[in-house]
Structure 1
Amino acid sequence: MSLSSIAEPEQLVLSQPARPATRVASEADAVAAATALAAEFRRGAVARDRERRLPIEELYAYSQSGLWAITVPRQYGGLGASHRTVAQVFKLIAAADGSLGQLPQNHFVILAHLALDASPAQQRFFFDLALSGARFGNAFSERGGKHVADFKTLITAADDGGHVVNGEKFFSTGALLAHWIPIVTVDSDGRPHLAVVPRDTPGLTVINDWSGFGQRTTASGTVRLEQVRVPAAQVVPIWKAFDRPTAAGAISQFIQAAIDAGLARGALDDTLDYVRRHTRPWIDSGLEKATDDPYLLQQIGDIHIRLRAAEAVLDLAADAIDHALLHPDQHNVAQASLLTAEAKVLTTEVALLASNRLFELAGARATLEEHGLDRHWRNARVHTLHDPVRWKYHIVGNHVVNGVAPPQHPWS
């Protein structure tokens, strides 16, 4: 399928890719591309957040860079990048703009599920789309259920051999700006399936009603599904990923942790910049510069050490995920989930610490709206709510004390 047949959102004026996306040749090239994009994205981050202005041009540049396809397996023409590199890309972009850092989150989860659960024909079709620059959105979460996995969106068989989907989704990050929308549905037996449809499919409506105080430009609003017809070739039985040992859940949580590490880095970078340029020494210190204040240096050192530790554990989780993908047995999958849980705890804590400590160290003037520094705390507070870390402690503790393996689902 050519990109000219992939519809853009009716509510927005988005240019179709005039050419296929760049093919990233190496993991070093991926990091270099992310570094360059992050420098561009950082310049407009404050204004976009303040105005709730969707990053349309930036998102186009991001997906056209080829970075959204770095995990496509080599046998399908992709880079097959390691998860250390995936984390580095997410960290770099999230440090520059938290919303842009989150927007490809579910796209990468989709690529992982396609690699695990899709047929070879489906893999070829959807991986070709990703390599061409197509963006996969998200219609996963729902409001009002008993718990996060209590899905009400149903997929039923149609007379023509295809399927019909009905339901409503929320927290649909990236859907408004996507070319294709992957929808998590359940069949009559309650088994999850992924129905992947073009953005302009009749009956599919994306509403930009996200009003969260953080991650403001992720367009994480509502998707309504009314008699949405889905060909059988575009339905993937993702329940299979959790019916056997796979790294699917760890990958989903790992990307969340990488984003949080990037949010922490962005807050720390802006703290250092502000302190160096603006913060005054305290009256009782007898110092000429705030950057010589021993208490300030201690606090900065504390954040730096905690962030480095979080990133180190994130790298361990990345290696464990890569190993579990190659050797998917119960032990290896459990190790990937456990290390990812540890990384999620540490990245959550340092993101909140760094974004809160920013104001203590920078001073009262740092709270002025003109600086836009409050976005760091708002973004960290909102994004770190993805799956409670109190249960990460439980998962790790239950394994250490009782030898119990983590549960297999997307939130573990």
Structure 2
Amino acid sequence: MTEINEHICVISMGYPTDDNPVFTFVDQLVCALADLGVKCSVISPQSITKSITRGVKLNPTVWSKKTKNNHIIDIYQPKFISFSEIKVFGFELGQVLYDFFFERAVKKAYKTMKEKPKLLYGHFWNCGFVAAAIGCQEKLPVYVACGEGELIIRESFLRRKRRLLECINGVISVSTENKAESIKLELADEEKIIVIPNAVDQSKFYKMDKNEARVSLGFSEDDFIIAYTGWFSQRKGSRRVSEAIKKLDNVKSVFIGSEEDSPTPKYTPDCEGILFCGRLPHQDIVKYLNCADVFVLPTLAEGCCNSIVEAMACGLPIISSDLPCNDDILDENNSIRIDPQSVDEIADAIRFLKDSPDKCHKMAEASLQLASQLTIDKRARKIFDYIMQNK
């Protein structure tokens, strides 16, 4: 691979390890950019507070990893203290303090970098503003990845930071809806935003023989199995899927995920026939998806859902929301779009595909065909080309 004379520093709120597989989509993009021959580094501060309250193991402050093509990525993870839950007379003091200490940690890590980057890439708008603050001072090009499930920026924050928007060279949005939201919030003009949907690493998510996958996990070859991947939360819809399954006969399920910052299991599924329920190492998810007949995710809000793209790459028909967040990756050929709040519609869609094996097969083929265009290598190339054209 020819080395490209560029050094991109990605600023992110999280970075995955084997012990804590968060923000895997950031890692996949960084690795794909590095394997194009681009020098890549990451700054991802880690909260001491969250480590204590949630029992998450802290990573070294500086560490490195190799990509599949043996390119080295340097990861800087300075520690900071967060108070995001503190409110004073309704004022979100904790969030203000979180923003302050997070930005300070990023700036300190940037100063310690022996080899300074040639451009900055903020993953999501909060990190984009931090990247812009550094970019303005260091006279570096700045790009922002817009992919939030819910694009909410406090007015007080935006008033203080709006001047930094002039330092942003371009925005990579994962969906047409995210682009529209960014324009509505006056974060960027239309000509500064490109839409490049999320993608999948097809070396990790791919079609396997369904029966072989089921036998290896001890599942029956004759069952009809639905799969769900995501936080067990109201937004993602784990309990709505569970309630829908209760209305059906002879449906088994796999729920991959965990509760999202909840002290009680409010959204953990409780239907009968659950074959697996819990977290998995990211590399193990592919086998469980390949055991399924259908993927179901009645999400209420997304940027562009990585779990859906991963399921498509495994050859699954999709049942998901009829909301605009899915418009760039789902159509009538590979999915049934439902009202995500309606348990009855979710149940009817599962029942229809269970009773229509030919239709189920055709939708599975359509998912595979579309996923073949949504690969992380192609996405990384599109993003890099866009950056080079707009420096």
Higher relative strand content: 2
TM-score by length of 2: 0.26
TM-score by length of 1: 0.25
